[in-house]
Amino acid sequence: MAASLKELDRRIRSVKNTQQITRAMKMVAAAKLRRAQDKLIAARPYGGKLEELLDGLTGTQIDHPLFEERNLRRRFVVVISSDKGLCGSYNAGVLRQTEDWLKAHDDDGVENVIYVVGRKANDFFKRRQWKVETVIDDLGGVIDVPRFNQIADDLMHRFLKDEVQEIRIFYTRFVSTLRYEPTPATLLPLKPAESDG
């Protein structure tokens, strides 16, 4: 009887310790989320102004290769996902939307090539029929501006060399803590801001 009481007491202490650790982890996660939200909210005005600037530019006649509509033979479809799971609809929505879009555009005579950013998108598309040409899955959840600049430079370089004639991106737009929207856009050639299917 005394041994079973000791065992019960040990289990109770173990559960309390686990609760304490879980509470601390929740607090750390909440603080990280808040910091990320603050950065995102602070960056939104810049993104909006950039869209306005591009909209204004595309309304005029600009002779620059980034604005040039080309004979479409090959298209990069850039898919951005997370490296890990357990994030609700964050990955599922954008992957489903990308796959649906690819299926709808399979017969348009254009080679669609997947350019993956994130391990979950790589896992998803390597089991599908489309060619995955580039995989970047080592970002580790860190906002690495120099690395993102390398990715952007690579995409722009391939577009300018006419390896691809269009670059579309599918990403998950943060609306609120409980709501994310899978969002498609055409990166290149530059055109007015859009949210088309």
Torsion sign (Cα): 142, 79, 138, 148: negative
Residue 62 corresponds to which tokens in the numbers above?
A: 């600009």
In this predicted structure, what is the pLDDT of residue 193? 47
Q: At residue 40, what are phi and psi to the nearest 5 degrees? A: -65, -45
Domains and CATH numbers, the chain: 65-188 (3.40.1380.10)
| 109 and 117 Cβ atoms separated by less than 8 Å | no
| 189 and 96 Cβ atoms separated by less than 8 Å | no
In this predicted structure, what is the pLDDT of residue 82? 83
Cα distance between residue 63 and residue 67, in whole Å: 7
Q: Which sequence positions are flagged as catalytic?
A: 87
In this predicted structure, what is the pLDDT of residue 167? 92
In this predicted structure, what is the pLDDT of residue 61? 66
Spans of the chain, pLDDT less than 50: 193-197
Nearest to 174 by CA among 1, 68, 54, 43: 43
The reported pTM is 0.73
Place of tokens 């690579």: 154
Nearest to 86 by CA among 48, 119, 51: 119
Q: Give Cα separations from 92 to 95, 99, 181 (angstroms).
A: 5, 11, 11
| 81 and 119 Cβ atoms separated by less than 8 Å | yes
Cα distance between residue 194 and residue 192, in whole Å: 6
